[in-house]
Structure 1
Amino acid sequence: MKLKRKQFGVIGLGRFGSAMATTLTELGHDVIGVDADESRVQQLADVITQALQIDATDERTLRAAGVRDVDVAVVSIGENIESSLLVVMQLRELGIRTIVAKAVTPLHGRILEKLGVSRVIFPEREMAVRVAHSLVMPNVLDYIELSRDFSIVEVPAPDAFVGRTLKQLELRPRLGLTLIAIKRRSPDSRVIVTNIAPAADEEIRPGDTLALLGSNERLNQLDQLLGR
């Protein structure tokens, strides 16, 4: 299923913002990146759709840059909390409905939520959570916390699963886990194809990566559940 092409605005092109803008571009979306630092803008000038050196705390400047037309705005200004809050306020004034903002402290995050930000991100904390889980569960390739009670993990398909269909595996009734996607390499091994919501007759193949949704209680017993 091909995803709809979206337009993103990334305000602040430091390490986090630059990586965000680059990745969104690689995923096939249009990206307007803005920063007051000329060197940061120049680094992305030939990478993303449009890179502009502007003062993002000024509403008129944001409007002139076309930021008001984006589907999603990402505020990645972390080092200057005041500027971060001002930019969010300006984006709200422009009528942008979906705003994602980076926070550096719990207080910063709470204020962003009060301003109506759709999602607050703590990059270092979220990365630390992922790494911690990968250390505790070595077979986990990736970990995404959905809530205090539920998460998604990516794991290599166990040998015992290979050659069996999802119907035969009975993951939900037997293990309390839901398989939401299968990642596997294309026949030429050049790209990784993701099968979202695979059918019951889908057969697990060697080298597959499984994305499993479940309660944190069940996922913490993953090695035991998967027979490792």
Structure 2
Amino acid sequence: MAHFTVIGLGRFGVAASLELIYLGHTVTGVDRDSKIAEQYVEDLTQSVICDATDEHSLRELDLAASDAVLVAIGEDLESSLLCILALKNLGVKEIWVKASSKAHHTIVSKLGVTRIIHPEEEMGIRIAQALNYPMVHNYLSIGHGLYVVDIQVKSALHNQPVSALLHDTQGVVDAILVKRGRQTFTQLSHDFVLQEHDTFLLCGSREALKLIAPRLV
């Protein structure tokens, strides 16, 4: 279990906070609006009224003890930057920042934060991918042009071996695992037989995964 601090309890900050709570972590939510902070007193581990642009106020929260601080102040560029500078001065090492524009991203990137997030853009890409490849339940970029995709096996592949799907992409697309009910199979040969409703994880480049996409329908 880790402890996180989320600064800015708008829709994005609240969604991130509640998911972290659901995953078993503790979360301190921070907002300068007393009504908003009080609204989530029962939902978060701690909900604090604080002006995050004021370093002296932030100092009282012992933020350096957090495993990470998420700055979810998206629209107010000045407040976001002042908050980041205050966090740096307080010795916070792990700082994640929501950026609302390219200008915001450009400035924040000069401040040495851990990660910059573009939630609307990232979600837009995910929705486009889902619309383009409805058989792909989820996907994750792991860098260097590689993606892990989560596929729900359809009737067309029922009782088919893995080789029927990957026959011309050997060494390019890797079969990682199959989840079948409560069973998980990780040692997958090309003779492994898929069943309808299996969850199938594959790893490969976008081009290689696009090549096999028509076989998944």
Aligned AA (1:21): S
Q: What is aligned with 2:206? A: 216
- Are the aligned partners of 2:8 and 2:73 in contact in 1 as well (CA < 8 Å)? yes
Find the aligned partners of 2:167 and 2:44 in 1 and give their Cα distance.
41
Are the equivalent residues in 2 in contact too, given 1:32–1:48 (CA < 8 A)? yes
Q: Residues 148-187 of structure 1: matches in 2 within 5 Å?
A: 149-159=145-155, 174=170, 176-180=172-176, 182-183=178-179, 185-186=181-182
Contact kept, 8 Å, 1:130 with 1:144, in 2: the verdict is no
Q: 2:55 aligns with which of 45, 54, 59?
A: 59
Residue 119 of structure 1: which of 110, 115, 120 is its match?
115
The offset of 1:46, in angstroms, is 1.0
For residues 75 and 171 of structure 1, what CA distance do their matches in structure 2 show? 46
Q: What letter matches 2:67 in structure 1?
A: D
After superposition, the Cα gap between the structure-2 partners of 1:43 and 1:205, relative to the gap in structure 1 and judged at 3 Å, is: farther
Distance in 2 separating the partners of 1:110 and 1:144: 24
Among 186, 206, 213, which residue is 1:198 paired with?
186
The offset of 1:204, in angstroms, is 5.2
Q: Report SS of the residue matched to 1:220.
A: helix
- TM-score of the aligned structures, taking structure 2 as reference length: 0.84
Structure 1: gaps (5+ residues): 187-192
Cα distance between partner residues in 1 of 2:87 and 2:176? 34
2:132 to 110, 131, 136: 136
Shift of residue 209, structure 1, vs aligned partner = 2.0
Match of 1:190 in 2: none
Higher alpha-carbon deviation: 129-138 or 214-223: 214-223
Which amino acid is 2:202 matched to?
Answer: L
Alignment size in residue pairs: 215
Label 1:184 to 1:69 Cα distance change in 2 as closer, same or farther (>3 A).
farther
- CA RMSD, aligned part only? 2.9
- 8 Å CA contact 1:12–1:77 kept in 2: the answer is yes
Residues 155, 75 of structure 1: CA spacing in aligned structure 2 closer, same or farther, 3 A cutoff? same
- Give the TM-score normalised by structure 1: 0.81
Summarize deviations over 1:133-178 as a string: whole Å, max 9, x none: 1111121122333447222322102457666887998789627223
Which segment drifts farther, 168-177 or 101-110?
168-177
1:28 and 2:16 correspond: no
Rg (Cα) greater in structure: 2
Percent of paired sites with the same residue: 35
Q: Aligned in 2, Cα 1:80/1:157: closer, same or farther, shift over 3 Å?
A: same
**In 1: Cα distance, 2:139 partner to 2:29 partner:** 28
State how far apart, in whole Å, the 1-side matches of 2:52 and 2:161 are: 52
